Amino acid sequence: MNAPSLPQIPPTGTHALTLPGGTVLWLLPQRAVVWPAARMAFVADVHFGKAASFRRAGQPVPHGTTADNLARLDAVLAATGAQHLVFLGDFLHARSGAEAPLWAQLRPWRERHAGIRMTLVRGNHDLLAGDPPAALAIDLTDEPWQPVEGAEVLACHHPLAMAGSTVLAGHLHPTVTLYGLARDAARLPCFAFTPGLLVLPAFGAFTGTSSQSMAPQARRLAVVGDRVVEVRPSGESD
């Protein structure tokens, strides 16, 4: 870890999570995790090209999801000063959506962030969709990947159990339902943490979610507007 660490005051709305070995992670309401000591930001399941894939299949889905994803990635980098952005799998959704219009948006975005290292830990969708083009200058690796040699954090796409480490993963698209006094309910993306595993919510603007994928004992940290809030398993806020 040669680069200086980020300021130790996390952005507003962030939940600071201390791992068993003492590593501090920031859980951001932008659905990202920041490792300040390593100057790294992690996002999972962006699924670039998903909307285009659905449109090619004749489904009437909205335009603009790629621009939304890129704007929120910009916000993560601007808010944290991270110098290394790690995609925890499913960068691309399908080969049918990985076409010229997508690259026409991604290339200038990558050029604007030319000084930031980017790494993709391949997920199941990436294996089918193929790797992003070399012009995007994204390092490619398979899981599990150790971002910092000797550290307790491992980067994966699937929620693997790795003894002695805390795995950062995606794939499950976790969500939690909060219930109001008027019998109303809100289904919100969340982080799910159990010792040894932190599952990130899906970052992509056009992705599904699952409320059945978390272990019963998992701590649920919901993205509620512009903050991350820990909630009880029943869905009631602490």
pLDDT at 220: 93
pLDDT at 5: 53
| Alpha carbon distances (Å) from 192 to 21, 34, 53, 164, 237 | 18, 15, 29, 19, 15
| Alpha carbon distances (Å) from 27 to 30, 220, 222, 228 | 9, 12, 10, 7
| Alpha carbon distances (Å) from 161 to 108, 164, 174 | 37, 9, 17
* Alpha-carbon gap, residue 227 to 229, rounded angstroms: 6
User: Over the stretch 142-165, which tens digit does the pLDDT of each residue have?
Assistant: 999 999 998 999 999 999 989 899
pLDDT at 6: 55
pLDDT at 130: 87
* Alpha-carbon gap, residue 35 to 23, rounded angstroms: 8
pLDDT at 54: 39
pTM of the model: 0.85
Going along the chain from its start, the domains and CATH numbers come out as 15-231 (3.60.21)
pLDDT at 16: 94
* Alpha-carbon gap, residue 121 to 91, rounded angstroms: 9
End-to-end CA distance of the chain: 36
pLDDT at 102: 85
Ordered per-residue pLDDT tens for the chain, 238 residues = 445 555 567 888 999 999 988 999 999 999 999 999 999 999 999 988 754 453 454 444 454 578 889 999 999 999 899 999 999 999 985 555 457 788 888 999 999 999 999 999 999 978 887 899 999 999 999 999 999 998 999 999 999 989 899 999 999 989 888 776 766 777 889 999 999 999 999 998 656 655 556 677 889 999 999 999 999 755 444 3
pLDDT at 191: 96
pLDDT at 84: 97
pLDDT at 186: 78
pLDDT at 207: 61
